[in-house]
Amino acid sequence: MPGQDFLLRYKGFLDRWIGLQREPGQPWRWPNGTEFDNRFPIRGGGDCVFLIDEDWFGSSRCRTWRRWICSKPDARTMGKGCAVESKL
């Protein structure tokens, strides 16, 4: 899962979706289905998580328009684009 340093490096000036989502009453999950390990607090009552700044991750409705932070590249996926997809 992406590290917080990676997310902050690609955030820019706007809030960015980071890929965490949840269904009502369920835990947060990454796009690959891995359960979130609660390494940082998430504020808000939404179903998708976005990065606001280095100490604040918020949640809101997934239909809210925001840009995405793509996956961390590795040797196999370099240059293949964004691995995080919206469920819209």
Q: Identify the three-state secondary structure at position 68.
A: strand
Which amino acid, residue 49? V
Residue 33, amino acid: G
Please state, in angstroms and rounded to a whole number, the distance separating the CA atoms of residues 5 and 22: 23
- pLDDT given for residue 75 in this prediction: 44
Residue 69 DSSP code: P
Average pLDDT over residues 47-73: 79
Whole-angstrom distance, CA of residue 48 vs CA of residue 62: 5
| pLDDT of 34 | 92
| CATH architecture group of domain 4-68 | Roll (3.10)
What is the average pLDDT across 56-75?
74
- Residue-wise pLDDT for 16-36, tens only, equals 788 899 999 999 998 889 999
Q: What is the mean pLDDT of residues 63-86?
A: 55
